[in-house]
Amino acid sequence: MPQLLLLIAVGAIAWLGYKRFISEAERVNARVRDAEKETRTGAQGTLIEDPETGEYRLRKPDE
């Protein structure tokens, strides 16, 4: 019985690790695509509208 519990725990940890790895890979992939697009178009950043003030500002790297 303890072996089964250990196997279940290892499986759950592996599954959570896999999910976290996939989400991190998607985030990095999106940043790379954005950087390639900026290089192709010659842009120096991406402007986004601030919903509170209505002004445009440069997008921060973590957005």
pLDDT digits (tens, 9 = 90+) for 20-33: 999 999 999 999 99
DSSP-derived letter for residue 47 is E
Whether residue 30 lies inside any domain: the answer is yes
pLDDT at 63: 73
Q: Please, is 34 exposed, middle or buried when counting C-beta atoms within 10 Å of its C-beta (0-12, 13-18, 19+)?
A: middle
What percent of the chain has a predicted confidence (pLDDT) above 70?
A: 100
Residue 44, in any domain of the structure? yes
Distance CA 50, CA 57 (A): 7
In a domain, 37, yes or no: yes
Answer yes or no: is 63 within a domain. Answer: no
Whether the predicted pLDDT of 45 surpasses 90: no
- The Cα–Cα gap between 27 and 32 comes to 9
Token output for 55: 């002004």
This prediction's pTM: 0.66
Give residue 23's domain range.
2-58
The CA distances from residue 31 to 20, 39, 63, in Å, are: 17, 12, 10
Counting the structural domains of the chain, the total is: 1
